[in-house]
């Protein structure tokens, strides 16, 4: 891989040599991302140092932010003219910045990169609407079912593929103070994700009709919610306040037999047994075992600079980041969590050579395979309606679940109320 | 330069007043302006809509349920903190070895950042490694782990506990101040008259402490009404809106629903409520010292 | 003083209860921060660590700028305290030792500021600070913290000033002291316990403030401890060991500080807080 890259480096060096640069002519870029855990920040810094080293005319610095605050902070900072030049995003976040006029389409740039690296289509789709592409896909995350083969064997259950098997397995595993299936019911993004994962496996993946009207209120959705609510009895009592971390802790401490999570690999490796042979991952069971779906989050980077020079520099940085020999190391800031969105990235040595990735290779291969069927509510089948941002910002999917699981509402009523709420939010 | 005597007091209080005007009053004026427009996200502009936002807010059930929750929040916090603080203050008002250390370090819970408080209790109440469930099971109070944040009522009660845990030591010290000011010979005289401990408490301590309690109640109310970070970081107002007090509603409306103007309207109404309470209550606090 | 046995028992029980209530969580956090990850999340928690590791601290200090956050917090809290005192002491002196038209109205206005729902001004203040270039600066945090601490500080000073006999002030004034000199030479030493209490209150207010710091500060190098701490919580994964180490370290400085000034704070509060 490195050999292919060399001409680029040379060209870059030649270009740098040709341009008379002083320190004052450096373009300074600020990158905001929400990968705040210290080791991720450290990995990003390593990459930035390398980039800055090889590009003397550009200086990129990172300012890690928090997902909880960035929704308030980013629009305010941009309005005040103190925002970043590059900002990481998930699909629901992009329409918010687009609505405050902070984004310009990067369609040409994405097409250029697609030609070179071949993006996964669904990753690009999540950012394509209103005649433009509004961010550059960077990494993928998709939900999977995690378990311990030894625990399933001991209980005499097979890895579930249908809802029926899933419920039976969860029931069997709920014994001796352990819980069969850890599922959240918090009014929070994690619950949106798990609820949608179940919906997508029950024929309710579409929230919108083709004409943009809502079709959330349908029998499949109701059935998915009913099933999810039934499964909650096999979940720990504090599940209504869970975020991802509690689910992982539950799995790592073997209190939960199975959980739905993007990846538990690093937690399992550092906080639990760390025995690669006893970590199982499977596609999320579907209603009738025909075709497993999952929720997939294509994370991306938005280019926000209004200044042409800075915009060019940002593109230079993104180009550099997506080069296979850098890209794999970027993804491995959290090994086993972030999956490649490009075809050459999926094959990159820099990705597969990480010790953690090597150790859990079969699991990661399964995760990548499952993510091929990834979809995201409001961003499916080319029916992308940016109004979904308001719906997911308010966690309406999770809110609907709480109406059933906590307030004891009838699922059909709750789903109807959920659709009314969605309409209200997007009017 | 020499200031005329009559202007001197204003020179002394001027900086403080100007500071508060710039940092609190001016932004409040801007919030009022915002509440009369239809701004959605931060940084966009809106047009004037008069009192529409207020109409919308006042006819919305969420606002009233939040107002109710805020009221319950303030009252339950006041009760729990007063009880805890009174007990602690009475205990710390006794003489025992180490009383000074105890008096100093009881405020430990108050001097740590709220984010840390939240994280600590989130862990302690969780079913993964938390101590609370096993302790309660051992004590025979529950027979299987419970989810403290799983139901609106228990989540609310748990938050009241956490917030009171953080604030009661501070109130304790203020009460201790009231207690130490009660002359010891009053107790001595009562003892000679043969009054038992309960009688001494109800006849001397309580009546003399009551004014202090009144003042603390006012302060406590204002302090706990404004509590936002503990609730937001712990439950984000959930489950099912069961802990969505007014400050949480304001934040949620502004930054989750992206209705800045509506949030501003809620904020202005909340300010009015609180100011109304404060105006009545400060009659008490504001009596000039000489007049007492 | 003699106490009947049953009261001693009751007192001991109450003290044990409060000691447990206050200290147990801290004990668990401190011991938790040196437990191995699996023990931290074990289904049966342990009161005394069965394992010992300093990995969490090593990771925290190696990979995050915790010392920087701490420095920032100390700077912000100290400066906030100083400015609060500079504004509150003269104001308290004027309010409680001088009479002038409008005194009561102004005093009540200050108390009303205490009743302010702080969340109300988050957005407008962000806009104002942005206009004058204060976003992402520690000055912004100082200003906010002073605004929140000041009303209570003025109120707290009230009984201290009120408790000074008029003759002392009168004598000083007859000796030809200007009000500034009277304030500095006579008043400040006399209300010292009150000043200590106000100082600690202002410091703690600033030290613990989270919401404004989280929105107003953009760059990592200027974060305070609460914001830095919330940063290591992480989105998709929680590393409890790291969090417990972070919690322990953010408790430490105030505990050290309090070991020195705690006595005065308590003395200050209990001597003059409420009348």
Query: What are the domain boundaries of chain A?
Result: 26-141+296-372, 143-295+382-426
Q: How many CB atoms lie within 10 A of CB C8?
A: 13
d(CA A154, CA C270): 63
Residues of chain C with C-beta less than 8 angstroms from the C-beta of B106: 18, 22
The subunits that touch chain C, with at least 3 C-beta pairs less than 8 Å apart, are A, B
Flag whether residue A403 sits within 8 Å of chain B, measured between CB atoms: yes
A250-254 long-range Cβ contacts below 8 angstroms, 24+ apart: A250/A179, A250/A182, A250/B127, A250/B128, A251/A146, A251/A182, A252/B128, A252/C37, A252/C38, A252/C41, A253/B128, A253/B129, A253/C38, A253/C41, A253/C42, A253/C43, A254/A148, A254/A151, A254/A178, A254/C43
Q: Which of residues 322-381 of A touch B (CB under 8 A)?
A: none
Tell me phi and psi for residue A138, to 5 degrees: -125, -45
Its sign, for the CA torsion B193, B195, B199, B204, is positive
Specify the pTM. 0.86
Which is higher by pLDDT, C23 or B191?
A: C23
Point out the residue among C87, C225, C271 whose CB comes nearest to the CB of B16: C87
Interchain contact, A239 vs B43, CB within 8 Å: no
Q: Using beta carbons and an 8 Å cutoff, which residues of A are at the interface with C?
A: 32, 34-39, 41-42, 62-69, 72-73, 76-77, 79-82, 141, 177, 243-246, 248-249, 252-255, 262, 266-267, 270-272, 334, 337
Tell me phi and psi for residue A179, to 5 degrees: -120, 140
Residues of chain B with C-beta less than 8 angstroms from the C-beta of C131: none
Interchain contact, B13 vs C91, CB within 8 Å: yes
Residue A295 vs residues A342, A371, A374, A404: alpha-carbon distances, Å: 18, 8, 5, 22
d(CA C70, CA C248): 12
Residues of chain A with C-beta less than 8 angstroms from the C-beta of C242: 37-38
**Quick check: A131 pLDDT over 90?**
no
Interchain contact, A249 vs B129, CB within 8 Å: yes
Over the Cα atoms of chain A, what is R_g? 22
Average pLDDT over residues C248-270: 80
The answer to whether A418 touches A412, Cβ cutoff 8 Å, is no
pLDDT at B41: 73
Question: What CATH number corresponds to the domain at position B162?
Answer: 1.10.3720.10
Sheet with A280-282, edge to edge strand ranges: A179-182, A256-261, A144-147, A280-282
Range list of β-strands (E), A287-414: 294-303, 374-375, 379-380, 383-384
| B46-100 pLDDT tens trace | 888 888 889 988 998 889 999 999 999 999 999 999 899 989 988 888 888 888 8
Average pLDDT over residues C165-186: 74
Q: How many CB atoms lie within 10 A of CB C223?
A: 26
pLDDT at B4: 66
Lowest mean pLDDT among A302-306, B141-145, B260-264: B141-145
pLDDT at A3: 38
Interchain contact, A78 vs B152, CB within 8 Å: no
Residues of chain B with C-beta less than 8 angstroms from the C-beta of A188: 236, 238
Residue B132 vs residues A61, A256, B139, B225: alpha-carbon distances, Å: 43, 19, 11, 27
Interchain contact, C38 vs A79, CB within 8 Å: no
Flag whether residue B46 sits within 8 Å of chain C, measured between CB atoms: no
d(CA A354, CA A335): 8
pLDDT at A144: 92
Average pLDDT over residues A182-187: 91
DSSP letter for B204, please.
Answer: I
Average pLDDT over residues A370-374: 79
Average pLDDT over residues B211-237: 84
By residue range, what is the domain housing residue B125? 54-291
d(CA B30, CA B35): 9
DSSP letter for A375, please.
Answer: E
Residue A352 vs residues A141, A230, A365, B180, C150: alpha-carbon distances, Å: 17, 39, 10, 70, 57
Residue A291's Cβ-count burial label (10 Å; 0-12, 13-18, 19+) is exposed
Interchain contact, B147 vs A407, CB within 8 Å: no
Average pLDDT over residues A358-380: 83
Average pLDDT over residues C17-42: 88
**Quick check: C271 pLDDT over 70?**
no
Average pLDDT over residues A183-207: 90
**Quick check: B191 pLDDT over 50?**
yes
Flag whether residue C264 sits within 8 Å of chain B, measured between CB atoms: no
| A328-337 pLDDT tens trace | 999 998 887 8
Which is higher by pLDDT, C171 or C153?
A: C153
- Percentages helix, strand, coil for chain A (3-state, rounded to 5) are 50, 15, 35
pLDDT at B43: 67
The answer to whether C112 touches C150, Cβ cutoff 8 Å, is no
Point out the residue among C11, C147, C230 whose CB comes nearest to the CB of B91: C11
Substitution target in A393, A406, A409 with the highest count of B β-carbons within 10 Å is A406
d(CA A255, CA A70): 33
Number of domains in chain B: 1
> Is B277 a member of any domain?
yes
Residues of chain C with C-beta less than 8 angstroms from the C-beta of B115: 210, 226-227, 229-230
Interchain contact, A394 vs B256, CB within 8 Å: yes
Which is higher by pLDDT, C130 or C175?
A: C130
Point out the residue among A187, A237, A253 whose CB comes nearest to the CB of B236: A187
The answer to whether B51 touches B36, Cβ cutoff 8 Å, is yes
Which is higher by pLDDT, A15 or A259?
A: A259
| CATH code for the domain defined by A143-295+382-426 | 3.40.190.10
Closest residue by Cα to residue A119 from A132, A135, A95, A130: A135
The H or E element spanning position A321 is helix A308-322
Q: Give the closest-approach CA distance of B144 to chain A in angstroms.
A: 8
Average pLDDT, chain C: 83
pLDDT at B285: 59
Average pLDDT, chain A: 86
ipTM beyond cut 0.90: no
pLDDT at A11: 45
d(CA B243, CA B230): 11
Flag whether residue B9 sits within 8 Å of chain C, measured between CB atoms: yes
> Is B24 a member of any domain?
no
> Is B32 a member of any domain?
no
pLDDT at B277: 85
Interchain contact, C108 vs B115, CB within 8 Å: no
Point out the residue among B44, B146, B257 whose CB comes nearest to the CB of A425: B257
| A229-267 pLDDT tens trace | 999 999 998 888 888 888 988 998 888 999 999 988 888
% of chain C at pLDDT higher than 90: 18
> Is B237 a member of any domain?
yes
pLDDT at B286: 53
**Quick check: C149 pLDDT over 60?**
yes
**Quick check: B134 pLDDT over 90?**
no
- What is the chain A residue with the closest CA to C234? A37
Lowest mean pLDDT among B47-61, B160-174, B197-211, C193-207: B197-211
> Is B268 a member of any domain?
yes
Residue B97's Cβ-count burial label (10 Å; 0-12, 13-18, 19+) is exposed
> Is B44 a member of any domain?
no
pLDDT at A16: 45
pLDDT at A410: 94
Residue C4 vs residues B179, C11, C62, C95: alpha-carbon distances, Å: 21, 11, 56, 47
- What are the residue ranges of helices labelled H in chain C? 5-32, 37-40, 55-63, 66-97, 103-114, 122-131, 138-162, 166-174, 179-181, 188-190, 192-208, 211-216, 225-231, 240-272
Interchain contact, B146 vs A237, CB within 8 Å: yes
Residues of chain C with C-beta less than 8 angstroms from the C-beta of B100: 263
Interchain contact, A240 vs B258, CB within 8 Å: no
Residues of chain B with C-beta less than 8 angstroms from the C-beta of C42: 129
pLDDT at A6: 41
d(CA B20, CA B18): 5
Q: Give the closest-approach CA distance of A110 to chain C in angstroms.
A: 27
Flag whether residue A81 sits within 8 Å of chain B, measured between CB atoms: no
Closest residue by Cα to residue C139 from C228, C213, C65: C213
**Quick check: A22 pLDDT over 50?**
no
**Quick check: A146 pLDDT over 90?**
yes
Its sign, for the CA torsion B281, B284, B289, B290, is positive
- B-C contacts at Cβ under 8 angstroms: 278
- A-B contacts at Cβ under 8 angstroms: 102
**Quick check: A89 pLDDT over 70?**
yes
Range list of β-strands (E), chain B: none
d(CA B123, CA B116): 11
**Quick check: A14 pLDDT over 60?**
no
The subunits that touch chain A, with at least 3 C-beta pairs less than 8 Å apart, are B, C
Residues of chain B with C-beta less than 8 angstroms from the C-beta of C1: 95
Residue C164's Cβ-count burial label (10 Å; 0-12, 13-18, 19+) is middle
Q: Do domains A26-141+296-372 and A143-295+382-426 have the same CATH topology?
A: yes
Closest residue by Cα to residue B39 from A76, A422, A302: A76
Q: Which of residues 185-224 of B touch C (CB under 8 A)?
A: 197, 212, 215-216, 219, 222
3 state SS of B119: helix
Q: Give the closest-approach CA distance of B159 to chain C in angstroms.
A: 15
Q: Give the closest-approach CA distance of C23 to chain B in angstroms.
A: 8
Which is higher by pLDDT, A416 or C190?
A: A416
> Is B204 a member of any domain?
yes
- What is the chain B residue with the closest CA to A72? B255
Band of pLDDT at residue B287, cut at 50, 70 and 90: low
Beta bridge partners of A129: A132
Do strands A383-384 and A144-147 pair parallel, antiparallel, or not at all (unpaired)? unpaired
Residues of chain C with C-beta less than 8 angstroms from the C-beta of A77: 135, 218
- What is the chain A residue with the closest CA to B255? A72
> Is B70 a member of any domain?
yes
Domain A26-141+296-372 is classified in which CATH homologous superfamily?
Answer: Periplasmic binding protein-like II (3.40.190.10)
């Amino acid at each position: 891989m490195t050999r292919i890259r060399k001409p680029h480096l040379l060209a870059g060096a030649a270009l740098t040599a040709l341009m008379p640069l002083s320190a004052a002519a450096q373009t300074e870029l600020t990158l905001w991302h929400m990968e705040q855990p210290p080791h991720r920040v450290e990995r990003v810094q390593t990459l930035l140092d390398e980039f800055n080293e090889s590009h003397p005319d550009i200086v990129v610095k990172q300012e890690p932010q928090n997902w909880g605050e960035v929704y308030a902070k980013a629009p305010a900072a941009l309005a005040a003219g103190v925002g970043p030049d590059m900002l990481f995003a998930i699909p629901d976040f992009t329409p918010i910045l687009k609505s405050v006029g902070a984004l310009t389409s990067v369609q040409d740039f994405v097409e250029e990169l697609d030609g070179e690296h071949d993006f996964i289509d669904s990753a690009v789709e999540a950012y394509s609407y209103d005649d433009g592409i509004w961010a550059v896909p960077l990494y993928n995350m998709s939900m999977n079912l995690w378990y311990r083969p030894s625990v399933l064997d001991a209980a005499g259950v097979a890895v579930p593929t249908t809802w029926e098997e899933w419920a039976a397995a969860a029931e069997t595993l709920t014994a001796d103070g352990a819980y069969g299936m850890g599922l959240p019911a918090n009014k929070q993004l994690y619950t949106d994700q798990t609820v949608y994962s179940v919906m997508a496996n029950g024929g309710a993946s579409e929230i919108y009709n083709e004409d943009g009207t809502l079709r959330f209120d349908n029998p499949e959705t109701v059935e998915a919610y009913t099933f999810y609510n039934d499964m909650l009895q096999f979940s720990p009592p504090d599940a209504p306040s869970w975020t991802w971390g509690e689910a992982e802790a539950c799995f790592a401490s073997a209190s939960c037999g199975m959980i739905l999570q993007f990846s538990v690999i690093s937690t399992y490796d550092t906080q639990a047994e760390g025995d690669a042979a006893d970590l199982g991952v499977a596609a999320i069971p579907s209603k009738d075992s025909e075709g497993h779906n999952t929720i997939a989050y294509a994370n991306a980077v938005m280019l926000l600079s209004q200044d042409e020079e800075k915009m060019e520099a940002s593109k230079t940085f993104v180009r550099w980041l997506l080069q296979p020999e850098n890209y794999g190391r970027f993804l491995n800031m959290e090994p086993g969590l972030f999956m490649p969105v490009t075809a050459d990235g999926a094959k990159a040595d820099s990705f597969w050579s990480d010790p953690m990735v090597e150790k859990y290779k079969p699991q990661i291969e399964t995760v990548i395979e499952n993510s091929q069927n990834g979809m995201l509510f409001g961003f499916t089948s080319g029916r992308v309606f940016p109004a979904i941002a308001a719906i997911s910002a308010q966690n309406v999917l999770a809110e609907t679940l709480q109406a059933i699981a906590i307030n004891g509402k009838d699922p059909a009523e709750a789903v109807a109320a959920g659709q009314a709420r969605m309409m209200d939010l997007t009017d | 330069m020499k200031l005329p005597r009559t202007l001197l007091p204003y020179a002394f209080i001027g900086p403080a007043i100007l500071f508060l005007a710039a940092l609190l009053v001016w932004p409040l004026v801007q919030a009022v302006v915002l509440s009369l427009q239809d701004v959605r996200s931060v940084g966009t502009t809106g047009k004037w809509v008069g009192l529409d936002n207020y109409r919308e807010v006042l006819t919305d059930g969420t606002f009233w349920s939040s107002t109710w929750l805020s009221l319950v929040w303030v009252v339950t916090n006041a009760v729990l903190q007063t009880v805890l603080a009174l007990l602690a203050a009475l205990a710390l008002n006794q003489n025992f070895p180490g009383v000074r250390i105890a008096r100093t370090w009881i405020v430990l819970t108050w001097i740590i950042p709220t984010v840390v408080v939240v994280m600590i209790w989130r862990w302690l109440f969780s079913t993964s490694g938390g101590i609370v469930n096993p302790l309660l099971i051992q004590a025979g109070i529950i027979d299987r782990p419970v989810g403290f944040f799983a139901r609106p009522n228990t989540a609310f009660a748990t938050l009241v506990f956490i917030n009171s845990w953080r604030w009661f030591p501070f109130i304790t010290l203020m009460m201790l101040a009231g207690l130490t000011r009660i002359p010891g010979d009053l107790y001595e005289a009562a003892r000679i008259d043969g009054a038992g401990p309960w009688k001494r408490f109800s006849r001397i301590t309580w009546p003399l402490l009551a004014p202090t309690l009144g003042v603390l109640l006012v302060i406590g109310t204002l302090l706990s009404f404004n509590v936002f970070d503990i609730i937001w970081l712990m439950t984000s107002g959930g489950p099912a809106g069961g802990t969505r007090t007014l400050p949480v509603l304001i934040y949620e409306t502004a930054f989750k629903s992206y209705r800045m103007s509506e949030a501003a309207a809620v904020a202005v109404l909340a300010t009015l409520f609180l100011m109304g309470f404060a105006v009545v209550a400060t009659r008490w606090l504001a009596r000039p010292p000489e007049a007492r | 003083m003699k106490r009947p046995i049953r009261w001693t028992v009751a007192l001991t029980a109450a003290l044990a209860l409060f000691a447990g209530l206050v200290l147990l969580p801290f004990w668990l956090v401190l011991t938790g921060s040196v437990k191995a990850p699996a023990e931290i999340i074990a289904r049966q928690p342990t009161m005394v660590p069965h394992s010992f590791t300093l990995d969490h601290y090593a990771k925290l200090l190696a990979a995050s700028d915790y010392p920087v956050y701490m420095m920032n917090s100390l700077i912000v809290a100290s400066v906030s305290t100083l400015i609060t005192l500079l504004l509150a002491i003269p104001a308290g002196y004027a309010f409680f030792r001088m009479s002038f038209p409008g005194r009561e109205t102004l005093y009540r206005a200050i108390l009303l500021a205490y009743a302010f729902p702080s969340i109300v001004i988050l957005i407008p203040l962000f806009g104002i600070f942005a206009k004058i270039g204060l976003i992402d600066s520690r000055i912004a945090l100082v200003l906010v913290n002073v605004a929140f601490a000041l009303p209570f500080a003025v109120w707290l000073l009230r009984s201290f000033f009120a408790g000074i006999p008029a003759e002392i002030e009168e004598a000083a004034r007859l000796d030809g002291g200007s009000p500034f000199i009277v304030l500095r030479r006579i008043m400040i030493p006399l209300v010292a316990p009150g000043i200590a209490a106000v100082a600690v209150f202002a410091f703690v207010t600033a030290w613990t403030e989270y919401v404004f710091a989280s929105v107003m500060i953009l760059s990592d190098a200027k974060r305070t401890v609460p914001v830095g701490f919330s940063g290591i919580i992480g989105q998709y994964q929680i590393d409890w060991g790291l969090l417990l180490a972070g919690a322990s370290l953010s408790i430490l400085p105030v505990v050290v500080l309090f070991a020195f000034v705690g006595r005065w704070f308590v003395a200050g509060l209990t001597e003059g807080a409420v009348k």
